[in-house]
Amino acid sequence: SQQGEEDPQALSIQEGENATMNCSYKTSINNLQWYRQNSGRGLVHLILIRSNEREKHSGRLRVTLDTSKKSSSLLITASRAADTASYFCAPPRDTGRRALTFGSGTRLQVQP
């Protein structure tokens, strides 16, 4: 089954800087989602981008999708200490399957 793989595995930046996380996946998708997880908590949905969209914005988040390269990126602008968390991309597990699959995530540390 396919799995989203995030890059880098860890990222440390200063408050106010932008953070970019990348994701690669293997098979064709209808949409791709991004989630955030604070330490010891459940995952929280950030954004869903459909295969016919190349870019989507939500507040300080910007997500891109390149289906030809099977890749996506998540940009967090003007980062805050509260953005410190793990971020996961979540493509569908397999074509035709309903579950999402998650990689190991990008652990983002925003220094105040």
Closest CA to 13 of 103, 68, 64, 84: 84
3-class secondary structure, 57: strand
CA pair distance 101, 99, nearest whole angstrom: 7
Closer residue to another protein, CB minimum distance, 32 or 110: 32
Q: Looking only at residues 72 through 91 of this chain, which bind another protein when binding is defined by CB under 8 A?
A: 88, 90
CA pair distance 99, 112, nearest whole angstrom: 36
Residue 9, amino acid: Q
Q: Which of 76, 83, 102, 108 binds another protein (CB under 8 A)?
A: 102
Residues 111, 22, 85: CA angle, nearest 5 degrees = 35
Binding mask 8-47 for another protein (x = CB under 8 A): ----------------------xx-x-x-----xxxxx--
Could you tell me which stretch among 53-61, 63-71, 75-83, 93-101 binds another protein (CB under 8 A)?
93-101
Q: Name the residues that contact another protein, by CB under 8 A.
A: 1, 30-31, 33, 35, 41-45, 48, 88, 90, 92-93, 97-105
